[in-house]
Structures are given as C-alpha cells and as structure tokens.
Amino acid sequence: MPVYEYRCNSCKKRVALLILSQSTQPVCSHCGSSDLTRLFSRFSAPKSEEARIESMADPGKWGDIDENDPASVARFMKKMGKEFGEELGEDFEQEMESADPSNP
C-alpha cells in the first residue's frame, strides 16, 4: 500500500497518509483540511556487497581510526557492522561500548 507524504497548506504540518485508491481525497490528520501539497518522499537504494566493500576500503572513511586506541577501533567496527547490515550480537555491542571511554 502506498504511503504518501503531504504538507498541509492550512496548518503547515507534514502528514504521512496511506492512500488506498487514487479517488480518495487526502485530508490532514491534524486540522482536517484537504488543502495539501504532495511532497517527494525519501527513498533508499541498496548497495551491492562489492560497493560496500569498496566504500570501506576507502581510507577517507577510516576517519580518526587509531589502531592503538581501543575506542577508535570500536567506533570503526560499529561503523563496519552498520555498513554491512550485520547484527554483531549483544556481547559484541557491550564490548565495543566498554572499550569506548566516551560512553558512560
């Protein structure tokens, strides 16, 4: 089912509406106005595994990694895990957080 985003021209709020048919007139869920402007919604395009590997191989992505600083390595490992969409497990997350002194 398509969900469309609109900006209400009356109350200026953004609303996301499920539109079941094109004959349905969208109505603001905040003020009830039908004076809406359709917005372009965000979308994502999945990266191939090759593109993710290439992106992580770019030294510019490494930022402030310092192999002698456990917190720096922990931040990089978390970034890698997010980039690859891997669930690294609760134990790994706890270890990474304990290695990062900026986390209380």
Tell me the backbone φ, ψ of residue 88, rounded to 5 degrees: -85, -10
């290695």: which residue's tokens?
Answer: 99
Beta carbons of 30 and 24 less than 8 angstroms apart: no
> What is the model's pLDDT at position 7?
94
> What is the model's pLDDT at position 103?
59
> What is the model's pLDDT at position 87?
63
> What is the model's pLDDT at position 70?
77
> What is the model's pLDDT at position 3?
82
Beta carbons of 8 and 36 less than 8 angstroms apart: yes
> What is the model's pLDDT at position 2?
77
> What is the model's pLDDT at position 6?
93
pTM of the shown model: 0.41
CA 94 to chain centre: 22
> What is the model's pLDDT at position 68?
83
What count of Cα atoms within 13 Å lies in the side-chain half-sphere of residue 33?
A: 15
* pLDDT, block means (10 residues), the chain with 104 residues: 86 88 84 92 73 74 73 76 68 71 59
> What is the model's pLDDT at position 46?
75
